[in-house]
Amino acid sequence: MTNRFYSLFLPRSMVILAIVIFLSTGLSRGEIGLDFEIPAPPGARLLETKPVSIGGRKIYASLYESKQELKDIIEYYQRFFKENNFKLVLDEKGRPKNRRLLRFKKEELMVSIAFLEKGEKREITVGKYLQPEGLPEIDDTPLSLKDFPLPQEDVTGKDLKIVPRPPESVRWMCEEKRSRITLLYASSLSVERIREFYRQQMYIQGWQMTGEIPIGEAVKAYKQASGKKDLGLQMPFKDAENLEEIISSAYFLEFRGKVEGREAKVDITIFPNFIDKKLGSMVQIEYGES
């Protein structure tokens, strides 16, 4: 159960940042070598590309999507970098099982490539940065939320007409897969006010609430049953709120109803803003049809 709720705290707008946690940077001292062109993965389409700053360092990263076999993409890059006299300095597998990370180096130029298998598709993040002699590795550089500007306006996508969006909110994510839609919002209102909003508004719009879980009680029961003092979870950002406290203050609401004659289900998870609880709350809505 805890793994499910942990996954809520990395919206799609931050996926590229979560993947490039292994990448990073180069101080701006001429940026020698950063003009080296890295080809796109075979058969891939570009999803996003942008420079990112981590602890004052720069990383130039691109996120691709491909349906090519993972082994073929990996062999392509291994061959490309060998031909260009790069040294393979890292080949990490299995954290999680569907991820793999390769890192190549030539003089001060470092290239990290993260592969993530998602069903029939592969997401590939390609990043390049400088690693001068004596500079700490990026793995040892704590991440800061200040390095990752978050959306101030709605990201691309659309709201559900049959499920109200949270009041005073900004849409951070909109993802649609087959008949399932996932939305993530940040609202300036508190968890309790958002909770009461959905308990009332979903009833008005014809939905039946079939379950409500105060996650804090579930966490308490889990720790008592397991004998553990904490969940052992940490946010990757040094200045984020305590993750266990965020989870323990969350609510999970489950609704069922019919949409155009078809059985449908809505799961709504409400939790404090993980950046700063004073900013309000975050709401994840998952809608699916049977």
Per-residue model confidence as pLDDT tens digits over 117-130:
887 888 999 989 88
The long-range contacts involving 176-182, CB below 8 angstroms and separated by at least 24 positions, are 179/288, 179/289, 180/286, 180/287, 180/288, 181/285, 181/286, 181/287, 181/288, 182/284, 182/285, 182/286, 182/287
d(CA 185, CA 17): 18
In a shared domain, residues 89 and 202? no
- Beta-bridged to residue 137, according to DSSP, are none
Q: Are 64 and 47 in contact (CB under 8 A)?
A: yes
**Contact indicator for 209, 254 with CB cutoff of 8 Å:** yes
The confidence band for 34, taking pLDDT boundaries of 50, 70 and 90, is confident
Final residue before a domain boundary, out of 147, 177, 192: 147
Residues 82 and 179 grouped into a single domain: no
* 226: confidence class by pLDDT, cuts 50, 70, 90: confident
H helix or E strand, kind and range, residue 122: strand 121-130
Whether residue 57 is found in the same domain as residue 96:
yes
Taking residues 223-241, what's their average pLDDT? 78
Do 86 and 195 fall within a single domain? no
Domain assignment present for residue 254? The answer is yes
- Looking at the fold, whether 90 and 194 belong to one and the same domain comes out as no
Nearest to 14 by CA among 271, 236, 195: 236
Q: Name the helix (H) or strand (E) containing 189.
A: none
Higher pLDDT pick, 74 / 4: 74
The answer to whether residues 200 and 142 belong to one domain is no
- Determine the 3-state secondary structure of 266 from DSSP: strand
Does one domain contain both 143 and 174? no
CATH number for the domain including 202?
Answer: 3.30.310
What global pTM score does this model have? Answer: 0.60
Find the helix or strand (DSSP H, E) in which 93 lies: strand 87-93
For residue 77, give its domain range: 2-147
Would you place residue 81 in the very low, low, confident or very high pLDDT band (cuts 50, 70, 90)? very high
pLDDT of residue 280: 95
Q: Could you tell me the pLDDT band of residue 169, with boundaries at 50, 70 and 90?
A: very high
Residue 162: per-residue pLDDT: 93
pLDDT at 85: 94
Q: Is residue 180 part of a domain?
A: yes
pLDDT tens for each residue of 236-268 = 677 778 888 888 999 999 999 998 889 999 999
Q: Decide if pLDDT at 32 tops 70.
A: no
Instruction: Check whether residue 188 and residue 263 sit in a common domain.
Output: yes
H helical segments located in the chain: 2-6, 15-19, 70-83, 191-204, 215-226, 243-248
Asked whether residue 160 is assigned to any structural domain, the reply reads: no
Give the per-residue pLDDT at 96.
58
13 and 120, same domain (yes or no): yes
Q: Is residue 188 in some structural domain?
A: yes
Q: 138-148 pLDDT, tens per residue?
A: 666 666 776 66
Residue 162 is assigned to a structural domain of this protein: no
Q: What is the mean pLDDT of the chain?
A: 81
Would you say residue 258 lies in a domain?
Answer: yes
Q: How high is the pLDDT of residue 230?
A: 82
Same domain membership, residue 198 and residue 111: no
- The answer to the question of residue 39 being in a domain is yes
The number of distinct structural domains making up the chain is 2
Strand order in the sheet with 169-177: 169-177, 180-187, 281-289, 262-272, 251-259, 208-214
Query: Is 80 exceeded by the pLDDT of residue 12?
Result: no
Residue 276 is predicted with a pLDDT of 86
Q: In this structure, are residues 250 and 153 in contact, taking their beta carbons and an 8 Å threshold?
A: no
Nearest CA to 11 out of 159, 127, 161, 185 is that of 185
Give first-to-last CA distance, the chain, whole Å: 23
130 and 239 both lie in a single domain? no
Q: Percent of the chain, pLDDT > 90?
A: 44
In a domain, 164, yes or no: no
Instruction: Report the pLDDT value the prediction gives residue 1, as an integer from 0 to 100.
Output: 33
The verdict on 19 and 140 lying in the same domain is: yes
